[in-house]
Structure 1
Amino acid sequence: MIESLRYPPAEKQADLRRVMAATIAARPDSVASAQHLRAAAHGHRHCRAHQAG
């Protein structure tokens, strides 16, 4: 846990992008997963809008 604090911010961003790219590659049916992850930090409004339709 403490080791992750030593990562420079740019390194963390690169790791996050790699994970997101791998997730999207593993599930091509949910290309919007990156948007959903971002929306999750804002109360899932984006996801609810999709489910309502």
Structure 2
Amino acid sequence: MNPVKAMLWALLALCLGANIAVSLKMENGPMEVLMSVLTGLGVLGAITGLVLLRRVAR
């Protein structure tokens, strides 16, 4: 497996887990929103990278 692809999958899993943990553990407030937005951007970035790698490989 391509090392970049493996890193993107790891980032995706890490950000998804962090987003779930933030939603369950943090109290409602601006810090929870900020953390959710940051982990969401990480997820979107990882998915975008994986899609672009797939298109390049074709």
Could you say which TM-score interval applies, normalised by the shorter chain? 0.3 to 0.5
Q: Which has the higher contact order (CA 8 A, sep 6+)?
A: 2
TM-score in terms of structure 2 length: 0.37
TM-score in terms of structure 1 length: 0.39
